[in-house]
Structure 1
Amino acid sequence: MRAGFQTAVALIYPPRCLGCGAQVESDFGLCGACWRDTPFIGGTVCDSCGIPLEGARDGHRVECDDCMQTPRPWRQGRAALLYADRARQLVLALKHGDRPDIARPAGVWLARAARPMLERETLIAPVPLHWTRLLRRRYNQAALLARALAAQTGAALCPDLLIRHRRTPMLDHASAGDRLTILAGAVSAHPRRRRRMAGRPVLLVDDVMTSGATLAACAAACHAGGAASVDVVVLARVAKDD
C-alpha cells in the first residue's frame, strides 16, 4: 500500500531538480546540466580553509597563501563547493530564498568533505544567528546544515552550543580586518551547553566562508568554552579572484 501511495505521489508531484526545477529521477537531486554547473571541491585542498590548490599531496600539511599569512584559530577546515555558478545559486536559495529542502542533499556533500575530520566524540555545532535575524529569516541555515550533517554521519549535534549575543552589521563589503574587529566578542558559548563540549572536538558548520572571520569568532568561543579542538566545514568557499 505504501509503495502504491508513493508511486501516486511521484506521478502527481514528480521529483524536481534542486537547481533548475527540471524533472529528475529522485528527490533532492540535480539534473545533469546543474550537476556539471556545480563546482564540487576535490583533490588537493588547503588544510585550513578547504580551498582547492594545485599539485598533489605529499603527506605533509598544505595551506594556501592566506592561511599561511593569517593562521586560523581552528585545526582543519573543509568546504564542499566553490561559491560560484550553480553552487552560489543553491546557497542563496537556502539562505534567502526559503528553500530549507536544499539542506538535505547538502548534508551528503558536507559529510563527504568533513569525514576526514570526524572523531568518535566529535560534537557538531552550527554558527549562530542573532535572535533578531533569526526572527526575520525564520530559520538558521547553518543549523539546518548541521542537522543534515549529523544525520548523515551519526555524530552528536548541539544546535545551540553557541550564542550570538550582539547583532553585527552585514559583512558582505567589509574587509577581512574590519570583519574581525566587528565580530570580536560577538559570539560566546551557551552557559548551559559548555559542559557538552568540555574536552571534546567540535566541528563548526556554516553555509559560506569568505574571510573566515565569523568562524574565527566561533572557534574562539569554543576554545574559551573548553573544547579540545575545533574544526570547520562549510557548504561553499569563496575563492579570491586571481
Structure 2
Amino acid sequence: MRVLDTLLPPRCLACEGEVQAQGALCAACFAGLTPITAPCCDRCGVPFAHAGQAEATGSAAGLCPRCRRGLPAFLSARAAFRYDAGAKRLILPFKHADRTDLAMPLARQMARIGAPLLARAEVIAPVPAHWRRVLQRRYDQAALLARALGALSAKPVLPDLLRRARQTPPLADKGAAERAATVAGAFVVSSRWRAAIAGRRVLLVDDVMTSGATAEACSLVLLGAGASAVEVLAAARVPDPRLRDA
C-alpha cells in the first residue's frame, strides 16, 4: 500500500489535492463543510442561526416557524451538512458527475449526525428518482446513499420500496407551497414491499433536503401503506433563508 500511495498519492475527495489517506478530505475542504448540529428544529432538522430562533416554551418548543404552523408527517429529519459552497463540492459531483465513490464517505457523515435515526430504523429506503433520470445519470444517488447506510448499520435496504408515478419538474426555483403541490401524488409504494413495511419504522434517505415537500409526500404514502413511522436522513440541508438573521 505504501508503494501504491507513493506512485498514486491519495487525493482529496473534493479538490484532488494530496491527503494522508484514501477517501479523505484535505484540511481546507473539511473546514469548508458546515455540519448541522444544535441548534436546529427538533422536528424537521432545519438549522437555526442561533438558539433564540426556537420557541422557548410550550408545545412548540424547539420547532421552526414552519413546523409550528403544522407538523410534517415524518417524525424527524436530520442532515449531515448545510447545503453551502463546501457541501456542494461533494454533492454536485456525486449527483451529476459520476462520482459514485462519494456515496460511502457521505453516508459515514450521515450515520454520524443521524445515529439515533439510524438506530431506530427497521427499514432503509431512498427517495426515488424517476426512471428517465436514472437512465440519464446511469445511477440513483439516493439509492447509493441508502445502500451505504445499510452496509454501515446492517439494516435492510429496500431500494425500490418507493417509485415515482410521474416525473416532476426541478424544484430548485419553486417556493414551499409550489414544491408541495408539484410532488403531491408523485410517489407510490411498491405492492411487493407493503408487507415488509407494515408496522415498521422506515428511514427515508435523500441527497439534499430543501423545503421537506418531497420527504412529506413520500412519508404520507409510506404511512398510508402501513409503516408505523418515517424519519428522514439527508446528506445536506438547504437552510431556510428566513432563519439566517435574528
Query: TM-score higher than 0.5 here?
Result: yes
> For each residue in 1:65-107, what CA deviation from the matched residue of structure 2 results, as whole angstroms up to 9, or x when unmatched?
1222242110011010000021122111111121111111111
Equivalent residue, structure 2, for 1:19: 14
Structure 2: where are the runs of 5+ without partners? Answer: none
- The correspondence for 2:46, drawn from 47, 51, 56, is 51
- The correspondence for 1:28, drawn from 13, 20, 23, is 23
* C-alpha deviation, 1:203, in angstroms: 0.4
- Classify the secondary structure of the residue corresponding to 1:103: helix
1:41 aligns with 2:36: yes
CA contact (8 A) 2:46 2:240 kept: no
Cα distance in 1, alignment partners of residues 91 and 23 from structure 2: 15
Counterpart AA for 1:115? A
Cα distance in 1, alignment partners of residues 31 and 185 from structure 2: 41
| 1:96-175 superposed matches below 5 A | 96-119=96-119, 122-175=122-175
How many positions carry a matched residue from both structures? 237
| TM-score calculated relative to the size of structure 2 | 0.90
Moved more, 192-201 or 6-15: 6-15
- Classify the secondary structure of the residue corresponding to 1:231: strand
Counterpart AA for 2:159? P
Runs (4+) of structure 1 exceeding 4 A deviation are 56-61
CA contact (8 A) 1:47 1:78 kept: no
Structure 1: where are the runs of 5+ without partners? Answer: 1-5
CA contact (8 A) 1:127 1:205 kept: yes
* C-alpha deviation, 1:43, in angstroms: 2.5
| TM-score calculated relative to the size of structure 1 | 0.92
CA contact (8 A) 2:164 2:188 kept: yes
CA contact (8 A) 1:49 1:79 kept: no
CA contact (8 A) 2:150 2:157 kept: yes
> Identity over the aligned pairs, expressed in percent?
43
1:81 aligns with 2:81: yes
Equivalent residue, structure 1, for 2:5: 10
- Classify the secondary structure of the residue corresponding to 2:149: helix
> For each residue in 1:126-158, what CA deviation from the matched residue of structure 2 results, as whole angstroms up to 9, or x when unmatched?
000111111001111111111111112222211
1:221 aligns with 2:221: yes
